[in-house]
Amino acid sequence: MARKTIREAINEALRQEMARDPDVIIIGEDVSGGAGGSGEEDAYGGVMGVTKGLIGEFGRERVIDTPISESAIMGAAAGAATTGLRPVAELMFVDFVGVCFDQIMNQAAKFRYMFGGKARTPMVLRTMIGAGFRAAAQHSQSLYHLFTAVPGLKCVLPSNAYDAKGLMIQAIRDDDPVIFFEHKALYDIADEVPDEAYTIPFGEANFTREGDDVTIVAFSRMVHIANEVADKLRREGVSVEVLDPRTSSPLDTDSILESVEKTGRLVIVDESAARCGLAGDIAGMVAQEGFDFLRGPIRQVTVPHTPVPFAPTLEDAYIPSPAKVEAAVRQLLDTKPRRMSA
């Protein structure tokens, strides 16, 4: 056990699984970097350094730098998975899904159902999400809602290093296509992470704070914002429960409903989208399944219905902030309980 960052935790998960199973390969743009160059072989190890060092241990046959061809990468991973490998493919930024979604949405996701249950497509697609890096509209989105909407895909959103390792190992061993969303702002967040391999099952939420007054559901980086708000309000005597579903597909609806039954108040913090995003999805589910638990309206704190802006003032205003989450919680606490008319 040692403190490891999310970057290190994912790297360790990949290394341990590659050592355990020769069918696990890594394929993507600059996953080592340096192929065909005049300098070092492992120049990048992924643009964020997540796959650094793996080529030295496993060689170019298993850590494969590709041309900048996202459709070919996604399709190669899907085709290889269906024929016996367990590829971990990298889509550098989730924004690039625009040029290759067919291979994920129409191919990998559908093989099993479309072929009558005979196909297995055990691929992992690692991809980066998240605003806050002044990278503007085409390198900052958090498009996990698009993938969550596709039957056949599983969607994983680790918020801490312990989860990142366990969820990645589960993703690699899983027999369905798994999309693994890594938030740019979280790579250097460190936790105690066991050295040995372990898995965390999909569809099981993690309660990062326990409380009785308000439930906050948050994914990925938003979990940290929710925790910050919960800790601040606790000092005022307000008890906030924070629930990190960890996977958006499958979604642990039971835990969300149990928490809402206890607190009667729900705030959802979501970086994906203002419309048709995870917040709206969960709000709809709770309105249908848990309406009688609610003591006030469900509050959604999301990004606005705009592209991600460039200017620092605008981007800072774009991202759900602790202040906005706190305001939503306070607003909800101030809401008088619903009166049923006689």
Which residues are near another protein by CB under 8 A?
23, 25, 27, 61-62, 64, 66-67, 69, 71-85, 87, 99, 102-103, 106-107, 111-120, 151-152, 154, 174-176, 203, 250
What does the alpha-carbon distance between residue 262 and residue 19 come to, in Å, rounded to a whole number? 45
What does the alpha-carbon distance between residue 317 and residue 320 come to, in Å, rounded to a whole number? 8
Cβ contact 246:205 at 8 Å: yes
What does the alpha-carbon distance between residue 261 and residue 295 come to, in Å, rounded to a whole number? 10
What DSSP element (H or E) covers 12?
helix 6-20
Please tell me whether the peptide bond between 201 and the residue prior to it is cis, using omega within 30 degrees of 0.
Answer: no
Give the relative orientation of helices 6-20 and 161-173 as an angle to the nearest 10 degrees: 30
What does the alpha-carbon distance between residue 179 and residue 250 come to, in Å, rounded to a whole number? 12
The total number of residues shown for the chain amounts to 342
What does the alpha-carbon distance between residue 234 and residue 298 come to, in Å, rounded to a whole number? 21
Taking CA atoms, 292 is separated from 218, 228, 331, 337, in Å, by 22, 29, 20, 12
Q: Is 224 a catalytic residue?
A: no
- Show Cβ contacts of residue 36 under 8 Å, excluding neighbours closer than 6 positions: none
Catalytic residue ranges: 139
